[in-house]
Amino acid sequence: MEALRTPEERFANLPDFPYTPHYLEGEGRAEGLRMAYLDEGPKDAPVFLCLHGEPSWSYLYRKMIPVFLEAGGRVIAPDLYGFGRSDKPVSQGDYSYTFHREALLSLVKRLDLQDITLVCQDWGGVLGLTLPMEEPEHWSRLLVMNTSLPLEPESSIVAEDLARPADERKTGFGVWHAISQKTDDMPVGHIVNTGAGKMLTEAEVAAYDAPFPDKSYKAGAIVFPRLVPFSDSQEGYEIGRRALRFWNDWQGESFMAIGAADPVLGKKAMLRLQGEIKGCPPPLIIEEGGHFVQEWGDQIAKAALESFAKR
């Protein structure tokens, strides 16, 4: 598998991100690759596993990490292959749902993570929400933001929309899919800034662009929209449906935050997901929050910890 490694100097002087990366050598399909992750806080403390989506990286959690650490937690924040400091396969064909899911399961097992709070958004949820059902005894809490699983009939509606010509699509995801697949490049920092309500500074936009010196590093960012499982013919769909059954009977604690300004995974989609998570309380709704709602992360993290402490 041919892969690129972003030069470390690209990550110098990132605003509000003073953390030292750690690395795991890949196993199985990821053999020969290196995955980056943050590991902050006491090794025997409850774990906050922070999973990013596309096209972001662990930098997205810079406003939540300090809150979890101050509460005495241990924060593990990996970069998916193709993102952040992790190696980036050059061929889009090397990326798959199973490839990424197996890498995350391997990370949890090799670091022997226990008492885990899953913190997830976007692809961090598409993948992350399927992890706890494999070894439920390791997972205690859920903090979920702007993400989804294969929910019917919504998934079938999107699948039908994706079958239409790009200029005739009607769903939010269908439009995003069309835009993302029109180019062999992707303005990552601009996309995150737009999805965060254009609240980022120039330095923060540059930090989101840092993992990608040029378009040859962006195969993962470009291909990810095509990998979202909306039909039973796609890899990951049945795993997602099995995960829904797991969350229907969830025995742990949960907290949901919604960036309501997200045109794809806003209130309607997230309230639908809330109904599938047993015991999930009313969500924290951030009306001005966009898809990358972690940019309001300090508020979300504090509210989640307060909610968990009450139960």
Q: For residue 288, which amino acid is it?
A: E
Which CB contacts under 8 angstroms, 24+ apart, belong to 128-133? 128/49, 128/51, 128/104, 129/240, 129/243, 129/247, 130/101, 130/236, 130/239, 130/240, 130/242, 130/243, 131/101, 131/104, 131/105, 132/246, 133/242, 133/243, 133/246
d(CA 90, CA 218): 8
d(CA 59, CA 167): 33
DSSP string of 119-180, one letter each residue: EEETHHHHHHTTSTTTSGGGEEEEEEES-----TTHHHHHHHHHTS-GGG--SHHHHHHHHH
Is 122 labeled as catalytic in the residue annotation? yes
d(CA 261, CA 15): 25
Tokens linked to 86: 């992790």
CB-based contact 95:219 (threshold 8 Å) = yes
CB-based contact 245:300 (threshold 8 Å) = no
Is 161 labeled as catalytic in the residue annotation? no
d(CA 115, CA 262): 31
* Choice among 79, 87, 94, 122 that is catalytic: 122
Is 177 labeled as catalytic in the residue annotation? no
Pick the closest to residue 196 from 60, 59, 299 (CA basis): 60
CB-based contact 37:24 (threshold 8 Å) = yes
DSSP state of 242: H
Residues annotated catalytic, as ranges: 122, 262, 291
